[in-house]
């Protein structure tokens, strides 16, 4: 069954990049945003599977490489934000690494962009749900991968459209930057988005944690801590 999935590398304190680069203060590669991003994605760049997909030589064949290869294999279509698509258009070149249809969420229409290797970029102007449905139809039974950036992943989670989230947690503290999970989720008082951990894979420089997204739920208090006995069953009710 096709699932909507997302994965992000994050620092121990929850950032996926450094402070946002405005575009008005020099080259992105020299920015704090880039510095934070590359610090938490070194495990990907060193992986043989990632380097092969980019057309680069070298890399390590290890657990991290297996994780990367698995993610490419599972995706039948991608959804991404316009900022990521615009930023990657030149570096990805004529044969981007996706090798599948990509649906770009945007407010600015553009003709479908065809690339070699099976990658196409379709620009969707009628919202995230529409982009996901188009990607699902094109995925040929495989998963729809939310490719990013972090703001789009957050919007998909907020909308209740995400089935699975995988975080690649890097043991570094950035202190500030672009946070993956923040107040943009618009959770009500006593409400949370609940997840179930389904896999944990340890590597020396990153821990890969996969979650099933269960959805929003309000906290229903039980008698825990009252001294009256064991917590009652059903201490949480889905909203």
Tokens representing residue 209 in the block: 């944690």
d(CA 79, CA 74): 14
Burial class (CB in 10 A: 0-12, 13-18, 19+), 151: middle
pLDDT at 77: 98
Instruction: Dump pLDDT digits (tens) for 12-48.
Output: 999 999 998 876 667 888 899 999 999 999 999 999 9
How many CB atoms lie under 10 A from the CB of residue 138?
A: 18
pLDDT at 26: 74
d(CA 106, CA 113): 14
Return the sign of the alpha-carbon dihedral for residues 206, 210, 215, 216: negative
∠ CA 146-147-153, rounded to 5°:
55
Instruction: Dump pLDDT digits (tens) for 53-75.
Output: 988 999 999 999 999 999 999 99
pLDDT reading at 170 higher than 80:
yes
> What does the mean pLDDT of the chain come to?
91
The answer for residues whose C-beta is within 8 angstroms of residue 137's C-beta and 6 or more apart is none
Tell me phi and psi for residue 143, to 5 degrees: -80, 155
Domains in the chain: ranges and CATH: 4-186+198-211 (3.40.430.10)
Q: Which of 129, 195, 143 is nearest to 4 (CA)?
A: 143
């Amino acid at each position: 069954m096709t699932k909507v999935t997302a994965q992000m590398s994050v620092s121990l304190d929850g950032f996926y990049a450094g402070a946002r680069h405005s575009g008005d203060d020099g080259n992105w590669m020299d920015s704090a945003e880039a510095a934070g991003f590359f610090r938490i994605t070194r495990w990907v760049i060193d992986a043989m599977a990632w380097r092969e997909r980019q057309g680069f030589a070298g890399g390590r064949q290890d657990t991290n490489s297996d994780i990367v290869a698995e993610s490419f294999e599972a995706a039948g279509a991608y959804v991404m934000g316009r900022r990521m698509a615009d930023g990657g258009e030149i570096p990805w070149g004529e044969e981007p690494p996706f090798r599948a249809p990509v649906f770009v969420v945007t407010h600015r229409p553009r003709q479908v962009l065809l690339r070699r290797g099976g990658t196409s970029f379709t620009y969707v102007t009628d919202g995230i749900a529409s982009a996901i449905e188009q990607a699902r139809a094109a995925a040929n039974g495989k998963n729809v991968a939310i490719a990013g950036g972090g703001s789009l992943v957050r919007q998909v989670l907020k909308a209740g459209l995400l089935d699975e989230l995988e975080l690649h947690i890097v043991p570094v503290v950035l202190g500030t930057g672009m946070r993956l999970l923040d107040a943009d989720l618009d959770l009500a008082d006593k409400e949370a988005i609940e997840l179930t951990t389904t896999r944990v894979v340890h590597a020396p420089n990153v821990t890969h944690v996969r979650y099933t997204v269960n959805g929003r739920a309000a906290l229903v208090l039980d008698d825990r801590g009252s001294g009256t006995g064991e917590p009652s069953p059903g201490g949480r009710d889905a909203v």
